């Protein structure tokens, strides 16, 4: 089975080892029709027992913005489930760089909303970073 138990999603990092099989004595009853249904049920039971979790892709957002418009960056990230990872001020300039993690699902329309909240002064760059477990109990 190539689909997971939660929502028929693609499975990653999973392996099943089939240790022993007892087949029917008659040759007519041996085949995929006998082995696949119980194997599939056993694989589903193993998935449920293992504590499955859904993962969502996360972007690393590098946002360059002037100091006086930084509150717009924080409010936009809060609206989009973003998590601020760090802030780096550039000495001698009024510009800072904010690093944050943003779910890919929330990134659609993010640039337009960010520019709207900062008066067009913030410049984001989004790069895939990692997979993160979705909050909640699947």
Structure confidence by residue, pLDDT tens digits, 86-120: 999 988 999 999 999 999 999 999 999 999 999 99
79 vs 41: CA distance, rounded Å = 41
Structure confidence by residue, pLDDT tens digits, 53-89: 888 999 999 999 999 999 999 999 999 999 999 999 9
pLDDT at 1 over 70: no
Q: Give the chain's mean pLDDT.
A: 87
DSSP-based three-state secondary structure for 128: strand
Structure confidence by residue, pLDDT tens digits, 40-51: 888 888 888 888
pTM assigned to the model: 0.73
Q: At what angle do helices 70-79 and 110-117 cross, to 10 degrees?
A: 140
Contacts of 127 (CB under 8 A, 6+ apart): 59, 60, 62
pLDDT-derived band at 136 (thresholds 50, 70, 90) equals: confident
């Amino acid at each position: 089975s190539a689909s997971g138990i939660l929502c028929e999603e693609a499975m990653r990092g999973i392996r099943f080892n089939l240790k022993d099989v007892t087949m029917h004595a008659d040759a007519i009853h041996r085949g995929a029709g006998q082995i696949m249904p119980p194997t599939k049920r056993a694989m589903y039971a193993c998935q449920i027992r293992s504590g499955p979790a859904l993962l969502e892709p996360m972007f690393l957002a590098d946002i360059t913005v002037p100091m006086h418009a930084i509150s717009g960056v924080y409010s936009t990230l809060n609206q989009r489930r973003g998590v601020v990872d760090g802030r780096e001020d550039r000495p001698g300039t009024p510009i800072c760089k904010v690093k944050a993690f943003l779910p890919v699902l929330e990134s659609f329309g993010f640039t337009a909303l960010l520019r709207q909240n900062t008066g067009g002064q913030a410049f984001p760059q989004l790069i895939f970073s990692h997979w993160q477990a979705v909050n909640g109990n699947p």
